[in-house]
Amino acid sequence: MFFKKLLKGIVSVFIICILFTNNSFSEDLSANNLENLEEIILNQLYLRNSDINITYTGSFSELENTLDGIFNKDMYINSTMKSYMWSFNGYIGNINIDINAEHIITYDEELLTNKKIDEILEQIITSDMNVHQKIKAVNDWIVINGKYDTSLTNYSHYDLLYEGESVCNGYALLTYKMLKSLNIPVILITGDSKDQSHIWNMVEVDGLWFHLDTTWNDPIPDKPNEISYRYYLLSDAEIKKDHYFNDDYPKADTSYFNYLYNLSKSSSYSYKYKKLIEDLNLDIYYDDNTANSIYEFNQILSQKSKNEPNYIAIRCAKNIMEKVINSKLTKLYDNKNIKNIEYKTTDDKTVNYNVLEIYIKYKKQPEYLTCNIEKDIFLTGDESDLKIEAVYSLYSKNINDLTRIRPYNEDILTINEDKIYFNNIGKTNLQFDYCNKSINVPITVFNSLGKNYILDYEPKDKIKVKIFDKYILFDQPPIIENNRTLVPVRAIFEVLGCEVNWDPVNRLVTGTNNDVTIKLKIDHRTAYVNGEPVLLDVPAKILNKRTLVPIRFISESLNRKVDWDQSSETVIID
């Protein structure tokens, strides 16, 4: 880097980095202040232009610092350039600025990348996912579909999407773009890891920042369908074991396991967090998955090996680790289906414990699992037999007693031995695991009145309503008034599990379930939820002899999440 000033009037030149010119096109650009200049330069870089010429008529003061800072202001732009240089010359009021940049991705490739990301997210993200589940879905897709480029020739997220390989820069950029598309706060962070320059991400979840390194979550050499979560949403203290970076980034001082554990105890969606803890292998930190003695280790191993998994992780006190490895693992061979066992120990980030990771191969594995539940809609009060089978090439066997049942919403249904009991309306997903195979069974429950309004097809109404991924049939189409959707009262109350009462004298409609009573008076903006007044944006009204009520207010009063899909003009209730 060098800096050169020519004393002819006021003429300055400032150049950084090495230029490998790749001209695209130039256009006449002008700026009259630093803010406008910055906006123009960033826009040109986003367009992936290589040769940028700008006439600047603003103040000379701070121009050099502004130009120097622009390239570091946007880390996404910075990380998608191989090199850049800039220079300026002229005199105050008429300064010519030349910028040359070599990009690792073209503008057309950027557009193709955006299109591909939209397609992927459409496949892996569902409307009922929370931010935790979305981040995991992105991490998993990248790790499963990407491969670290050990030849060090592919550098971009475009390469990772279309060539299937990239170095850490491509992993971090793709993570950044996918999470940005989901409106999840994310940044790029640079530093060092494993004796080399490195780039990864930080992600904000519920106001808390965590580190996410999708590169090191992908095993080398690449192992199909194998995902590590060793570098998934870590605190500063956890990632600093082998990552080094300066203090210019947000602080990450929360243990993700502790955060998820608290959510699993207090959240209305506790089952989602319990399942997430298991999916991320963070359940090793549960007390009942931590072995402080040989006896406890045997108990945990027996329980975890029952469903013949390919991977088992047990947190062990360091003083018993050697005894466990030398003698107790051999007991797994009592299962005659086991072909081979490998293991490794890793640091669990505490002083007294290690994690024993066990990898198992079996002589025979089922081709797939089956479940006898064929329909996906049930009524409250129903019960159903449950039968899970593992299907092999020549035979099948019942595995009800061997199957691992993943956490599910027990408010909606309960499983007792070989029976399922459907308790309340709602939607949940049952996942059964055995011998590294899984089967997912979606379950939706309505009461007998609400089921009458459910459709198996999309209605022709302009404004549509979906609940638990099912469409609702209304005898009066929904309408929008003052940006609020109104729907017939009886249908929405009964679909949401409420009894409906109409008082024609007082023009008062009441919806009641076990926990909530909602009262709305026609043409009045004050409604009541369990006796507490609530001011409505739009009051209930009568149209074509049908009482219409604001659907968001009704649904959210009954603790249901409501979204609006503008593209299909659909209200989505979960």
How confident is the model at residue 6, as a pLDDT? 27
What is the fold, at CATH topology level, of the domain defined by 368-446?
Immunoglobulin-like (2.60.40)
Distance CA 253, CA 266 (A): 21
How confident is the model at residue 15, as a pLDDT? 33
3-state secondary structure 20-68: CCCCCCCCCEEECCHHHHHHHHHHHHHCCCCEEEEEECCCCCCHHHHHH
- The neighbour count for residue 547, using CB atoms within 10 Å, is 20
Spell out the residues 6+ positions from residue 91 whose beta carbon is closer than 8 angstroms to its own: 9, 10, 11
DSSP label at residue 466: E
CATH class of 2-103: alpha beta
CATH class of 450-573: alpha beta
Arch. (CATH architecture) of 286-362: 2-Layer Sandwich (3.30)
DSSP label at residue 139: H
Task: Report the phi/psi class of residue 446: left, alpha or beta, with left for phi > 0 and alpha for psi in -120 to 50.
Answer: beta
pTM of the model: 0.82
pLDDT in tens, 370-409: 999 887 899 999 999 999 999 999 999 999 999 999 999 9
Distance CA 554, CA 520 (A): 10
Distance CA 543, CA 488 (A): 9
How confident is the model at residue 11, as a pLDDT? 32
Task: Give yes or no for a cis peptide into 221 (omega within 30° of 0).
Answer: yes
How confident is the model at residue 7, as a pLDDT? 24
- The neighbour count for residue 3, using CB atoms within 10 Å, is 10
CATH class of 107-254: alpha beta
Going from N- to C-terminal start, the domains of the chain cover 2-103, 107-254, 286-362, 368-446, 450-573
Distance CA 396, CA 424 (A): 33
pLDDT < 70 stretches in the chain: 1-27, 349
- The neighbour count for residue 272, using CB atoms within 10 Å, is 23
